[in-house]
Amino acid sequence: MKKVSIIVGVAIIVFGIILATSFKSELCPYVSVSYVVSKGKVSNVQVNGTIVPGSTKILSNNTLMFNLSDGKTQMRVIYHGILSHYQEGIPAVVVGSYFDGVFHAKEVLLKCPSKYKVLEENYSTKKIVKRD
Amino acid sequence: MDIGYLFLIGSTLSFCASILFSYLYTKGKAKWSQVLKLNFLALIFTTLAFLTLLYYFLVRDFNVKYVFFYSDTHLPLVYTISAVWAGREGSLLLWLFYLSIFILLSTRKEDKISAFANVLMCVVAIFFNFLLLTSSNPFVRLNFTPPEGWGLNPLLRTPEMALHPPAIFLGYAGMTVPFAFAVAATYYRESWIFRVKKFLLVAWAFLGLGILLGAWWAYKTLGWGGYWGWDPVENSSLLPWLTSSALIHGILVEEKGGGKGGLKAINYAFAVITFDLVILATFITRSGIISSVHAFARNKEAYAYLMLILLSSIFAFVVALKRKDIFKGYELNLRDRLIQVCILILSLSTVTVLIGTLTPLLIRASVTKEFYRHIEIPLGTALVVLLGVCVLAYKKDLNKKIIKSLIAGLISTIVVYAITKLVIASIGAGIFFFSLLSIIQGYSARKIDLRRAGAIAAHLGLILLFIGVMGSWMYESSYTHISMGVGQSVKVGDYTLKLNGFNEVNGNGKFSVIAYVSVYKDGKFLGVMHPKLIIYNLMRNDRIVASVDIISLPFEDIYIAMGGVTETGIASFEFYVVPLVSFVWIGSILIILGGLISALQREKHVVRES
């Protein structure tokens, strides 16, 4: 049984090393729009922001362009593909790299439906009165 | 004060009284039936609170803030009902409702263990009551009555999403039972596994069902051709499923000799960890902390949840420490050892998912999907191989049977390679047939009772799931840049798509644009697909939804989503061919059914030699 314990121990250590390596290589830091724009060139990051209303351009070949804002700075984002619930004005996280003045998104994450709380909090009762 | 709120107060007080009477019962000063009555009263109050909220939805009382945010006047009846659990407050109420039922059902046996377990479960119930009475009160009213609701998120208007929360929260609430009885029975130096097994299996099955519904929904709704995105919300529900799967297997070892087997400490730990993980999952699912790191500090409930996790763990740990002498069981035999390895693999898998899920909370970064795939695919493969060995482990002619399975695996690898020339697919098929033949050999000779039938179903399900995941993750073809005008056709891979035209449908509070796309494979007509864009008449921003269309063939799915239409009538599409995805659904359903079938087995407290 001692042998078995050693094998299991080694297996766990190997697993730990693989886990750590994979973790390091697949880590994708969060940065702000301002940071990305000020750096000029950043690769493999995620940027949180709001899709700027009126900035969307849909080109042929399923290419989507929009501006993402963090309240201070805006950046142009380009994405190839369909986003099933894309809307302007909602928060989004874009994953990809920034170069040549454009953010090339591999992925655009729109808020999951069970997580609309933030939006609701911003929607104060005053605004509802105004709408009426 | 709202009547619903009063019902919640009633529920809280009943649970408090139940705790008091449980204590008095252990001192011989109260009857157990009094405790049961109080638990029943608590269930009635909770149910009334739930029905009150449902009533507000049905009469569209938009003065209630929660009703305003999750429904509108056009919402169909079914989704008006499901809107009750569409948000945080309603989900917590659902949690409490299920927990109240579980408390009532699990404490019917009159003894000190029930009393102690009852106290622990009531504390959890009071915790949720506390949240519902303070920061997550579903009965908060606005100071005016809006004429129209904000509307239920269109993405949630599917049968899967209507049923996903009731299934998953049943699983979550059910995991309170093993935790409470593990701690209580250990305190009294008794065995707890037989008392919780049924609850554990039912909770596990419903948790699995909830996860499956979520995956199926993502596949049908989100339009990226996948069903599992390693999203924190998905991950958080997978975590307790992994640990409870480990617990179910650990119990198989411990139950020998009427609860004298090994792995006692491990099972105890997994009962506690599973409970902690369902609390973590409830928190992650309903707070959105992970998607926005900054929300964490702002979320007052975060600390309450963390506190519950911390206190329950510390309490369980202290009890275990005081009773550490009872954790000694029988020596482990070969089969036990293999089950231990299975638990180890599930644990490593849990750790991986947990690290990935919590990374955004701890540092300003998150991991990509590849991180999970790099680790989980090998672990899953190891699990399936282990299964093939494990089901044969206590057979007399073990070597002979293993060799048969190995030959089956080898032949299928060669055959699949000859046909497809795909290395990984061939290895996957080999492993699949190796484990399949082992399952057939392992179970065929024995008497089949319900419990074994459940195990067979779940294990067959696992290998089908394995092959399905492998096929759909490794060999999916995606074509994301397709544009077509009416009458035009495009060739993608072996397929030809032709846009026949559009139709527009208006009514029922929504406006839909439907595209008609004919699909041909190698020139053979497969059918007309109807991807849609649906625009709901709602105040909310997220009112446009792309609805996908899928043609399911036995060995692959053909999947199309429409991105948008320009004014000139050019539409953009995404097209996916997903192999073996039906195996994922069938496998998952078998796993869930396996749990339920096993739960039907009459409990025998007999020595199980095998």
Angle of the B176-187 helix axis to the B159-174 helix axis, nearest 10:
0
B183-241, pLDDT tens digit by residue? Answer: 999 999 999 999 999 999 999 999 999 999 999 999 988 877 889 988 888 899 999 99
Whole-angstrom distance, CA of residue B186 vs CA of residue B441:
38
Closest residue of chain A to B331, computed from CA coordinates: A1
Whole-angstrom distance, CA of residue B347 vs CA of residue B476:
29
| CB spacing of A120 vs B150 below 8 angstroms | yes
> In which residue are the tokens 């000020």 written?
A38
State yes or no: pLDDT of B510 exceeds 90.
no
**Reported confidence tier of residue B3, pLDDT bands at 50, 70, 90:** very high
CA of B523: how far to CAs of B329, B480, B517, in Å? 65, 21, 15
- Which of the residue ranges A18-22, B51-55, B151-155, B557-561 would you say has the lowest mean pLDDT? B151-155
State yes or no: pLDDT of A119 exceeds 50.
no
Give mean pLDDT, residues B458-465: 95
- Name the more confident of B432 and B364: B432
State yes or no: pLDDT of B294 exceeds 50.
no
B296 touching A, CB under 8 A?
no
State yes or no: pLDDT of A117 exceeds 60.
no
Q: What is the 3-state secondary structure (H, E, C) of B307-366?
A: HHHHHHHHHHHHHHHHCHHHHCCCCCCHHHHHHHHHHHHHHHHHHHHHHHHHHHHHCCEE
Give mean pLDDT, residues A73-77: 92
State yes or no: pLDDT of A3 exceeds 80.
no
Number of Cβ atoms within 10 Å of the Cβ of B524:
8
Which positions ≥6 away from A126 have C-beta within 8 Å? none
State yes or no: pLDDT of B34 exceeds 50.
yes
| CB spacing of B88 vs A117 below 8 angstroms | yes
B545 touching A, CB under 8 A?
yes
**Reported confidence tier of residue A4, pLDDT bands at 50, 70, 90:** confident
Q: Which residues from chain B sit within 8 angstroms of residue A90, using beta carbons?
A: 541-542
B554-571, pLDDT tens digit by residue? Answer: 889 999 998 777 777 788
| CB spacing of B288 vs A23 below 8 angstroms | no
Amino acid at B217: W
- Name the more confident of B244 and A46: B244
**Reported confidence tier of residue B397, pLDDT bands at 50, 70, 90:** confident
Whole-angstrom distance, CA of residue B194 vs CA of residue A44:
51
CA of B214: how far to CAs of B207, B210, B218, B458, in Å? 11, 6, 6, 19
Whole-angstrom distance, CA of residue B339 vs CA of residue B350:
16
How confident is the prediction for chain B on average, in pLDDT? 90
**Reported confidence tier of residue B380, pLDDT bands at 50, 70, 90:** very high
- Which of the residue ranges B50-64, B106-120, B434-448, B584-598 would you say has the lowest mean pLDDT? B434-448
Whole-angstrom distance, CA of residue B293 vs CA of residue B375:
25
State yes or no: pLDDT of A115 exceeds 50.
no
| CB spacing of A93 vs B291 below 8 angstroms | yes
State yes or no: pLDDT of B51 exceeds 90.
yes
- Name the more confident of B121 and A90: B121
- The distance in angstroms from the start CA to the end CA of chain A is 75
State yes or no: pLDDT of B524 exceeds 70.
yes
What is the three-class DSSP state of B475?
A: coil
Structure tokens at B164: 């996903």
Number of Cβ atoms within 10 Å of the Cβ of B224:
21
How confident is the prediction for chain A on average, in pLDDT? 77
How far is the alpha carbon of A123 from chain B, nearest alpha carbon, in Å? 10
Whole-angstrom distance, CA of residue B100 vs CA of residue B111:
19
Whole-angstrom distance, CA of residue A114 vs CA of residue B290:
12
Closest residue of chain B to A59, computed from CA coordinates: B566
Q: Which of A26, A46, A111 sits opposite B371 (nearest CB)?
A: A26
State yes or no: pLDDT of A124 exceeds 80.
no
Q: Which residues from chain B sit within 8 angstroms of residue A28, using beta carbons?
A: 365-368
pLDDT confidence of residue A130: 30
Give mean pLDDT, residues A117-123: 36
State yes or no: pLDDT of B430 exceeds 90.
yes
How far is the alpha carbon of B73 from chain A, nearest alpha carbon, in Å? 16
State yes or no: pLDDT of A82 exceeds 80.
no
Whole-angstrom distance, CA of residue B264 vs CA of residue B250:
8
pLDDT confidence of residue B610: 38
Q: Which residues from chain B sit within 8 angstroms of residue A130, using beta carbons?
A: none
- CB burial of B245-283 (b: ≥16 within 10 Å; e: otherwise) equals bbbbbbbbbbbbeebebbbbbbbbbbbbbbbbbbbbbbb
State yes or no: pLDDT of B111 exceeds 80.
yes
Number of Cβ atoms within 10 Å of the Cβ of A122:
9
B370 touching A, CB under 8 A?
yes
Query: CA B136: distance to chain centroid?
Result: 23
Closest residue of chain A to B359, computed from CA coordinates: A27
How far is the alpha carbon of A40 from chain B, nearest alpha carbon, in Å? 20
Contact map slice: B 256-295 vs A, CB within 8 A? 285-288, 291-293, 295
Q: Which residues from chain A sit within 8 angstroms of residue B543, using beta carbons?
A: 87
Share of chain B above pLDDT 70, in %: 95
Number of Cβ atoms within 10 Å of the Cβ of B380:
17
Give mean pLDDT, residues B247-256: 93
- Name the more confident of B113 and B481: B113
Q: How many CB pairs under 8 A join A and B?
A: 156
pLDDT confidence of residue A118: 36
Helices marked H in B513-607: 581-599
Closest CA to B480 of A99, A66, A84, A50: A84
Give mean pLDDT, residues B280-302: 65
Domains of chain A: 28-131 (2.40.50.140)
> Could you give phi then psi for residue B503, rounded to 5 degrees?
-140, 150
Q: State the pairing for strand pair B556-565/B571-579.
A: antiparallel
- Which of the residue ranges A113-117, B151-155, B384-388, B431-435 would you say has the lowest mean pLDDT? A113-117
Test mutation, B371, B376, B544, B549, chain A, max A CBs within 10 A: B371
Domain range summary for chain B, segments of one domain joined by +: 1-156, 158-395, 477-579
CA of B39: how far to CAs of B10, B44, B127, B196, in Å? 11, 9, 16, 18
Q: Which residues from chain B sit within 8 angstroms of residue A88, using beta carbons?
A: 541
B189 touching A, CB under 8 A?
no
What is the DSSP annotation of B51-89? HHHHHHHHTT-TTBHHHHHH--TT--HHHHHHGGGSSHH
State yes or no: pLDDT of A85 exceeds 90.
no
| CB spacing of B359 vs A27 below 8 angstroms | yes
State yes or no: pLDDT of A49 exceeds 90.
no
pLDDT confidence of residue B557: 94
Amino acid at A12: I
Regarding an ipTM greater than 0.90, the answer is no
Amino acid at B456: I
- The distance in angstroms from the start CA to the end CA of chain B is 60
pLDDT confidence of residue A60: 66
